[in-house]
Amino acid sequence: MLQDQTILRIPGPSPIPPSVQRAMNQSMIGHRGKETSDMLKKIAPGLKKVFGTTQEVAIIAGSGTAGLETAVVNVVKPGEEVLVVVTGAFGDRFTKICEAFNIKVHVLNVEWGKALNPEEIKAFLAGHPEIKVVFSTYCETSTGVLNPIDKLALAVQEVSDALIVVDGVSCVAGVETKMDEWGIDVMVTGSQKAFMLPAGLTFVAASEKAWKVIEENDQPRFYLSLKKYRDNLLKDTTPFTPALSLLFGLEQVLSLLEAEGLNNVYSRHALMKDMTRAAFKALGIPLLTSDEDASPTVTAVQPEDFDAEEFRKILKKEFAISIAGGQQHLTGKIFRIGHMGYCSPADQLQIISAIEVALKKLGKNIELGKGTAAAQQVYLAQ
Ligand SMILES: *Cc1c(COP(=O)(O)O)cnc(C)c1O
Protein backbone atom coordinates (compact mmCIF):
# COMPACT_ATOMS: atom_id res chain seq x y z
CA MET A 1 0.00 0.00 0.00
CA LEU A 2 1.06 3.57 -0.67
CA GLN A 3 2.82 4.83 2.42
CA ASP A 4 2.32 8.26 3.92
CA GLN A 5 -1.26 8.55 2.75
CA THR A 6 -4.08 8.71 5.23
CA ILE A 7 -7.53 9.77 4.23
CA LEU A 8 -9.14 11.32 7.23
CA ARG A 9 -12.92 11.23 7.24
CA ILE A 10 -13.62 11.29 10.95
CA PRO A 11 -15.70 14.18 12.32
CA GLY A 12 -12.61 16.01 13.51
CA PRO A 13 -9.71 16.40 13.43
CA SER A 14 -10.29 17.08 9.75
CA PRO A 15 -7.85 17.43 6.82
CA ILE A 16 -5.78 20.60 6.52
CA PRO A 17 -5.49 22.56 3.25
CA PRO A 18 -1.89 22.68 1.92
CA SER A 19 -1.83 26.49 2.00
CA VAL A 20 -2.85 26.40 5.66
CA GLN A 21 -0.19 23.77 6.37
CA ARG A 22 2.41 26.05 4.75
CA ALA A 23 1.17 29.11 6.64
CA MET A 24 1.63 27.26 9.92
CA ASN A 25 5.25 26.54 9.01
CA GLN A 26 6.26 30.19 9.18
CA SER A 27 9.10 31.10 11.53
CA MET A 28 8.14 32.20 15.00
CA ILE A 29 7.50 35.87 15.69
CA GLY A 30 7.34 37.91 18.88
CA HIS A 31 3.92 37.61 20.46
CA ARG A 32 3.99 41.16 21.76
CA GLY A 33 5.19 42.75 18.54
CA LYS A 34 3.42 44.63 15.78
CA GLU A 35 3.28 41.57 13.49
CA THR A 36 1.12 39.66 15.98
CA SER A 37 -1.13 42.68 16.56
CA ASP A 38 -1.55 43.12 12.82
CA MET A 39 -2.40 39.45 12.45
CA LEU A 40 -5.02 39.63 15.23
CA LYS A 41 -6.48 42.73 13.60
CA LYS A 42 -6.79 40.86 10.31
CA ILE A 43 -8.31 37.75 11.89
CA ALA A 44 -11.00 39.49 13.96
CA PRO A 45 -13.46 40.56 11.21
CA GLY A 46 -13.31 37.16 9.49
CA LEU A 47 -14.09 35.30 12.71
CA LYS A 48 -16.98 37.64 13.49
CA LYS A 49 -18.43 36.97 10.06
CA VAL A 50 -18.28 33.21 10.55
CA PHE A 51 -20.00 33.56 13.94
CA GLY A 52 -22.55 36.07 12.64
CA THR A 53 -21.76 38.51 15.42
CA THR A 54 -20.49 42.04 15.95
CA GLN A 55 -19.07 40.99 19.33
CA GLU A 56 -15.40 40.15 19.83
CA VAL A 57 -14.58 36.47 19.27
CA ALA A 58 -12.07 35.31 21.88
CA ILE A 59 -9.29 33.03 20.64
CA ILE A 60 -8.15 30.72 23.43
CA ALA A 61 -5.36 28.14 23.26
CA GLY A 62 -7.00 24.87 24.25
CA SER A 63 -9.18 22.19 22.68
CA GLY A 64 -12.92 22.62 22.17
CA THR A 65 -13.65 21.45 25.68
CA ALA A 66 -11.70 24.43 27.04
CA GLY A 67 -14.24 26.56 25.17
CA LEU A 68 -17.13 24.68 26.74
CA GLU A 69 -15.60 25.17 30.19
CA THR A 70 -15.05 28.86 29.38
CA ALA A 71 -18.76 29.19 28.69
CA VAL A 72 -19.69 27.50 31.96
CA VAL A 73 -17.34 29.37 34.30
CA ASN A 74 -18.09 32.76 32.79
CA VAL A 75 -21.88 32.73 32.60
CA VAL A 76 -22.97 30.51 35.47
CA LYS A 77 -22.78 31.82 39.00
CA PRO A 78 -22.17 29.43 41.90
CA GLY A 79 -25.41 27.93 43.18
CA GLU A 80 -27.42 28.67 40.06
CA GLU A 81 -29.57 26.20 38.20
CA VAL A 82 -29.12 25.40 34.52
CA LEU A 83 -30.71 23.21 31.87
CA VAL A 84 -28.57 21.02 29.64
CA VAL A 85 -30.24 19.62 26.53
CA VAL A 86 -28.49 16.34 25.83
CA THR A 87 -28.82 14.96 22.31
CA GLY A 88 -25.63 12.88 22.45
CA ALA A 89 -22.12 12.59 23.90
CA PHE A 90 -21.27 16.29 23.60
CA GLY A 91 -24.44 17.50 25.30
CA ASP A 92 -23.46 15.13 28.05
CA ARG A 93 -20.05 16.85 28.29
CA PHE A 94 -21.77 20.13 29.27
CA THR A 95 -23.53 18.23 32.08
CA LYS A 96 -20.21 16.87 33.33
CA ILE A 97 -18.51 20.28 33.25
CA CYS A 98 -21.40 21.92 35.11
CA GLU A 99 -21.38 19.16 37.71
CA ALA A 100 -17.64 19.61 38.21
CA PHE A 101 -18.42 23.20 39.28
CA ASN A 102 -21.23 22.12 41.63
CA ILE A 103 -23.86 23.72 39.44
CA LYS A 104 -27.38 22.34 39.82
CA VAL A 105 -28.08 20.72 36.47
CA HIS A 106 -31.46 19.81 35.03
CA VAL A 107 -30.98 17.43 32.12
CA LEU A 108 -33.38 17.09 29.23
CA ASN A 109 -32.46 13.90 27.42
CA VAL A 110 -33.35 13.53 23.76
CA GLU A 111 -33.14 10.12 22.11
CA TRP A 112 -29.74 9.83 20.39
CA GLY A 113 -30.13 10.34 16.66
CA LYS A 114 -32.99 12.84 17.03
CA ALA A 115 -32.90 16.64 17.17
CA LEU A 116 -34.05 18.61 20.18
CA ASN A 117 -37.65 19.81 20.20
CA PRO A 118 -37.87 23.55 20.99
CA GLU A 119 -41.47 23.22 22.26
CA GLU A 120 -40.42 20.60 24.80
CA ILE A 121 -37.69 22.89 26.10
CA LYS A 122 -40.08 25.81 26.25
CA ALA A 123 -42.52 23.76 28.33
CA PHE A 124 -39.73 22.66 30.66
CA LEU A 125 -38.54 26.23 31.18
CA ALA A 126 -42.07 27.47 31.82
CA GLY A 127 -42.19 25.09 34.78
CA HIS A 128 -38.67 26.01 35.98
CA PRO A 129 -38.33 29.80 36.16
CA GLU A 130 -35.20 29.42 38.30
CA ILE A 131 -33.14 28.20 35.32
CA LYS A 132 -30.56 30.81 34.32
CA VAL A 133 -28.77 29.16 31.42
CA VAL A 134 -29.75 26.68 28.70
CA PHE A 135 -26.89 24.64 27.20
CA SER A 136 -27.26 22.89 23.89
CA THR A 137 -25.26 21.52 20.97
CA TYR A 138 -25.51 22.81 17.40
CA CYS A 139 -24.13 19.76 15.58
CA GLU A 140 -24.19 16.73 17.87
CA THR A 141 -21.12 14.99 16.47
CA SER A 142 -21.85 11.66 18.14
CA THR A 143 -25.09 11.20 16.16
CA GLY A 144 -24.76 13.49 13.13
CA VAL A 145 -27.73 15.62 14.17
CA LEU A 146 -27.91 19.35 13.51
CA ASN A 147 -30.09 20.85 16.23
CA PRO A 148 -32.38 23.77 15.28
CA ILE A 149 -30.72 26.27 17.58
CA ASP A 150 -32.41 29.25 15.89
CA LYS A 151 -35.82 27.82 16.79
CA LEU A 152 -34.54 26.84 20.21
CA ALA A 153 -33.49 30.44 20.90
CA LEU A 154 -36.91 31.76 19.83
CA ALA A 155 -38.71 29.26 22.04
CA VAL A 156 -36.52 29.98 25.07
CA GLN A 157 -36.94 33.74 24.71
CA GLU A 158 -40.74 33.38 24.76
CA VAL A 159 -40.80 32.01 28.29
CA SER A 160 -37.50 32.78 29.95
CA ASP A 161 -34.63 35.22 30.41
CA ALA A 162 -32.16 32.35 30.49
CA LEU A 163 -28.95 32.70 28.53
CA ILE A 164 -28.56 30.36 25.57
CA VAL A 165 -25.15 28.71 25.28
CA VAL A 166 -24.36 26.67 22.18
CA ASP A 167 -21.56 24.21 21.45
CA GLY A 168 -20.91 24.73 17.75
CA VAL A 169 -17.56 22.93 17.70
CA SER A 170 -18.30 20.48 14.90
CA CYS A 171 -20.14 22.74 12.50
CA VAL A 172 -19.41 26.47 12.79
CA ALA A 173 -17.67 27.46 9.50
CA GLY A 174 -19.45 24.56 7.79
CA VAL A 175 -23.05 25.60 8.43
CA GLU A 176 -24.65 29.01 8.63
CA THR A 177 -24.33 30.59 12.05
CA LYS A 178 -26.12 33.83 12.87
CA MET A 179 -25.36 34.30 16.51
CA ASP A 180 -26.69 37.87 16.84
CA GLU A 181 -29.76 37.47 14.65
CA TRP A 182 -30.83 34.22 16.31
CA GLY A 183 -30.22 35.51 19.84
CA ILE A 184 -27.53 33.03 20.87
CA ASP A 185 -25.76 34.32 24.00
CA VAL A 186 -22.58 32.27 23.94
CA MET A 187 -21.25 30.42 20.92
CA VAL A 188 -18.25 28.10 21.20
CA THR A 189 -16.28 26.40 18.48
CA GLY A 190 -12.91 24.75 17.95
CA SER A 191 -10.14 24.71 15.37
CA GLN A 192 -9.99 21.05 14.31
CA LYS A 193 -13.40 20.55 12.72
CA ALA A 194 -14.91 22.79 10.01
CA PHE A 195 -12.15 25.35 10.68
CA MET A 196 -9.62 23.14 8.85
CA LEU A 197 -6.87 23.56 11.46
CA PRO A 198 -5.17 21.20 13.89
CA ALA A 199 -6.67 20.97 17.37
CA GLY A 200 -5.50 23.60 19.83
CA LEU A 201 -7.71 26.67 19.50
CA THR A 202 -11.18 27.36 20.78
CA PHE A 203 -13.23 30.40 19.80
CA VAL A 204 -15.84 31.88 22.13
CA ALA A 205 -18.16 34.85 21.62
CA ALA A 206 -20.74 36.30 24.02
CA SER A 207 -23.78 38.54 23.45
CA GLU A 208 -24.35 41.88 25.16
CA LYS A 209 -26.82 40.16 27.47
CA ALA A 210 -24.23 37.52 28.36
CA TRP A 211 -21.55 40.16 28.95
CA LYS A 212 -23.70 41.75 31.69
CA VAL A 213 -23.77 38.40 33.48
CA ILE A 214 -20.08 37.71 32.85
CA GLU A 215 -18.98 41.06 34.23
CA GLU A 216 -20.74 40.64 37.55
CA ASN A 217 -20.08 36.92 37.93
CA ASP A 218 -17.89 36.09 40.94
CA GLN A 219 -17.26 32.47 39.96
CA PRO A 220 -13.46 31.97 40.30
CA ARG A 221 -11.61 31.71 36.98
CA PHE A 222 -8.24 32.77 35.65
CA TYR A 223 -6.97 31.33 32.34
CA LEU A 224 -10.52 30.96 31.04
CA SER A 225 -11.72 34.41 32.07
CA LEU A 226 -13.47 35.64 28.92
CA LYS A 227 -13.14 39.26 29.96
CA LYS A 228 -9.33 39.02 29.82
CA TYR A 229 -9.49 37.82 26.22
CA ARG A 230 -12.01 40.44 25.15
CA ASP A 231 -10.23 43.36 26.83
CA ASN A 232 -6.92 42.34 25.26
CA LEU A 233 -8.49 41.75 21.86
CA LEU A 234 -9.79 45.32 21.91
CA LYS A 235 -6.11 46.34 22.11
CA ASP A 236 -5.14 43.80 19.37
CA THR A 237 -3.34 41.55 21.79
CA THR A 238 -3.91 38.45 23.94
CA PRO A 239 -3.70 37.93 27.71
CA PHE A 240 -1.26 35.00 27.36
CA THR A 241 1.11 33.79 24.66
CA PRO A 242 -1.12 32.90 21.74
CA ALA A 243 -0.68 29.65 19.77
CA LEU A 244 1.04 31.61 17.00
CA SER A 245 1.42 28.78 14.49
CA LEU A 246 -2.29 28.10 14.68
CA LEU A 247 -2.99 31.81 14.23
CA PHE A 248 -0.86 31.81 11.05
CA GLY A 249 -3.06 28.96 9.86
CA LEU A 250 -6.26 30.67 10.99
CA GLU A 251 -5.43 33.77 9.01
CA GLN A 252 -5.10 31.61 5.89
CA VAL A 253 -8.29 29.64 6.66
CA LEU A 254 -10.25 32.88 6.87
CA SER A 255 -8.89 34.03 3.55
CA LEU A 256 -9.87 30.67 1.97
CA LEU A 257 -13.39 30.99 3.38
CA GLU A 258 -13.61 34.55 2.13
CA ALA A 259 -12.42 33.58 -1.36
CA GLU A 260 -14.91 30.72 -1.66
CA GLY A 261 -17.70 32.77 -0.11
CA LEU A 262 -19.36 31.61 3.12
CA ASN A 263 -22.64 30.77 1.38
CA ASN A 264 -20.76 28.56 -1.07
CA VAL A 265 -18.94 26.90 1.82
CA TYR A 266 -22.31 26.11 3.42
CA SER A 267 -23.85 24.77 0.21
CA ARG A 268 -20.76 22.61 -0.41
CA HIS A 269 -21.32 21.01 3.01
CA ALA A 270 -25.04 20.53 2.35
CA LEU A 271 -24.23 18.90 -0.99
CA MET A 272 -21.71 16.49 0.60
CA LYS A 273 -24.36 15.52 3.15
CA ASP A 274 -26.95 14.90 0.44
CA MET A 275 -24.52 12.87 -1.67
CA THR A 276 -23.49 10.71 1.28
CA ARG A 277 -27.05 10.07 2.42
CA ALA A 278 -28.25 9.27 -1.10
CA ALA A 279 -25.47 6.68 -1.43
CA PHE A 280 -26.43 4.78 1.73
CA LYS A 281 -30.11 4.93 0.86
CA ALA A 282 -29.38 3.48 -2.57
CA LEU A 283 -27.34 0.71 -0.96
CA GLY A 284 -30.17 -0.04 1.46
CA ILE A 285 -28.10 0.72 4.57
CA PRO A 286 -30.01 2.66 7.25
CA LEU A 287 -28.98 6.12 8.38
CA LEU A 288 -29.21 7.04 12.06
CA THR A 289 -30.88 10.41 11.52
CA SER A 290 -33.81 11.68 9.46
CA ASP A 291 -33.20 13.95 6.45
CA GLU A 292 -34.62 16.83 8.45
CA ASP A 293 -32.28 16.37 11.43
CA ALA A 294 -29.11 15.48 9.50
CA SER A 295 -25.98 17.60 9.87
CA PRO A 296 -24.10 18.85 6.80
CA THR A 297 -20.79 18.04 8.52
CA VAL A 298 -21.12 14.41 9.65
CA THR A 299 -23.26 11.43 8.64
CA ALA A 300 -24.03 8.57 11.01
CA VAL A 301 -24.88 5.19 9.52
CA GLN A 302 -26.53 2.37 11.46
CA PRO A 303 -25.96 -0.96 9.72
CA GLU A 304 -28.41 -3.76 10.49
CA ASP A 305 -26.66 -6.76 9.03
CA PHE A 306 -22.93 -6.15 9.35
CA ASP A 307 -20.46 -5.18 12.01
CA ALA A 308 -19.63 -1.45 12.01
CA GLU A 309 -16.20 -2.00 13.60
CA GLU A 310 -15.23 -4.75 11.16
CA PHE A 311 -16.25 -2.47 8.29
CA ARG A 312 -14.12 0.39 9.63
CA LYS A 313 -11.12 -1.95 9.90
CA ILE A 314 -11.45 -2.98 6.26
CA LEU A 315 -11.67 0.62 5.04
CA LYS A 316 -8.56 1.45 6.99
CA LYS A 317 -6.63 -1.61 5.86
CA GLU A 318 -7.57 -1.46 2.18
CA PHE A 319 -7.57 2.26 1.56
CA ALA A 320 -6.09 4.01 4.63
CA ILE A 321 -9.46 5.68 5.08
CA SER A 322 -10.35 6.55 8.66
CA ILE A 323 -13.98 6.93 9.63
CA ALA A 324 -15.31 7.09 13.18
CA GLY A 325 -17.24 4.56 15.23
CA GLY A 326 -20.05 5.22 17.68
CA GLN A 327 -19.69 6.72 21.14
CA GLN A 328 -21.06 5.52 24.49
CA HIS A 329 -24.07 3.20 23.96
CA LEU A 330 -23.76 3.51 20.16
CA THR A 331 -20.24 2.00 20.21
CA GLY A 332 -20.15 -0.81 17.66
CA LYS A 333 -23.64 0.04 16.45
CA ILE A 334 -22.94 2.95 14.10
CA PHE A 335 -20.15 4.46 12.04
CA ARG A 336 -19.74 8.14 11.26
CA ILE A 337 -18.31 9.82 8.19
CA GLY A 338 -16.98 13.33 8.59
CA HIS A 339 -17.40 15.68 5.64
CA MET A 340 -16.34 18.98 7.06
CA GLY A 341 -13.81 21.65 6.27
CA TYR A 342 -11.25 20.74 3.62
CA CYS A 343 -13.49 18.22 1.92
CA SER A 344 -15.26 18.35 -1.43
CA PRO A 345 -17.86 16.49 -3.51
CA ALA A 346 -14.90 14.87 -5.33
CA ASP A 347 -13.68 13.48 -2.00
CA GLN A 348 -17.16 12.14 -1.24
CA LEU A 349 -17.31 10.29 -4.55
CA GLN A 350 -13.98 8.69 -3.71
CA ILE A 351 -15.06 7.67 -0.20
CA ILE A 352 -18.40 6.29 -1.33
CA SER A 353 -16.83 4.21 -4.03
CA ALA A 354 -14.21 2.86 -1.59
CA ILE A 355 -17.00 2.12 0.88
CA GLU A 356 -18.71 -0.05 -1.73
CA VAL A 357 -15.54 -2.08 -2.18
CA ALA A 358 -15.18 -2.46 1.59
CA LEU A 359 -18.79 -3.64 1.86
CA LYS A 360 -18.11 -6.31 -0.77
CA LYS A 361 -14.95 -7.38 1.08
CA LEU A 362 -17.06 -7.68 4.20
CA GLY A 363 -19.33 -10.06 2.32
CA LYS A 364 -22.31 -7.76 2.05
CA ASN A 365 -24.42 -8.36 -1.01
CA ILE A 366 -24.56 -5.00 -2.76
CA GLU A 367 -24.51 -3.93 -6.35
CA LEU A 368 -21.19 -2.17 -6.95
CA GLY A 369 -21.59 1.42 -8.10
CA LYS A 370 -25.14 1.85 -6.88
CA GLY A 371 -24.22 4.19 -4.04
CA THR A 372 -21.72 6.08 -6.17
CA ALA A 373 -24.31 6.54 -8.92
CA ALA A 374 -26.82 7.92 -6.42
CA ALA A 375 -24.23 10.42 -5.17
CA GLN A 376 -23.34 11.35 -8.75
CA GLN A 377 -27.03 11.97 -9.48
CA VAL A 378 -27.29 14.27 -6.45
CA TYR A 379 -24.24 16.15 -7.67
CA LEU A 380 -25.64 16.53 -11.19
CA ALA A 381 -29.07 17.58 -9.94
CA GLN A 382 -27.89 20.56 -7.88
C1 LIG B 1 -14.99 17.80 18.95
C2 LIG B 1 -16.08 18.40 19.75
C3 LIG B 1 -15.85 19.08 20.97
C4 LIG B 1 -14.50 19.37 21.52
O5 LIG B 1 -13.74 18.35 21.83
P6 LIG B 1 -12.18 18.54 22.14
O7 LIG B 1 -11.70 17.17 22.07
O8 LIG B 1 -12.07 19.15 23.47
O9 LIG B 1 -11.66 19.47 21.08
C10 LIG B 1 -16.92 19.65 21.62
N11 LIG B 1 -18.15 19.57 21.13
C12 LIG B 1 -18.43 18.94 19.98
C13 LIG B 1 -19.83 18.94 19.49
C14 LIG B 1 -17.40 18.34 19.26
O15 LIG B 1 -17.68 17.72 18.11
pLDDT digits (tens, 9 = 90+) for 251-287: 999 999 999 999 999 999 999 999 999 999 999 999 9
Average pLDDT over residues 66-72: 98
- In this model, does residue 2 exceed pLDDT 90? no
- For the Cβ of 168 lying below 6 angstroms from any atom of ligand 1, the answer is no
Question: Which atom in ligand 1 lies closest to the alpha carbon of residue 65?
Answer: 8
Express each pLDDT in 115-138 by its tens digit: 999 999 999 999 999 999 999 999
Nearest CA owner, ligand 1 atom 5: 64
Considering the entire predicted model, what is its pTM? 0.97
- For the Cβ of 90 lying below 6 angstroms from any atom of ligand 1, the answer is yes
The pLDDT value given to residue 326: 97
- In this model, does residue 318 exceed pLDDT 90? yes
Average pLDDT over residues 333-345: 98
Q: How confident is the model at residue 333 (pLDDT cuts 50, 70, 90)?
A: very high
Express each pLDDT in 349-367 by its tens digit: 999 999 999 999 999 999 9
Domains of the chain: 7-14+261-381 (3.90.1150.10), 19-259 (3.40.640.10)
Express each pLDDT in 23-53 by its tens digit: 999 999 999 999 999 999 999 999 999 999 9
d(CA 242, CA 40): 10
- In this model, does residue 78 exceed pLDDT 90? no
Question: Which atom in ligand 1 lies closest to the alpha carbon of residue 202?
Answer: 9
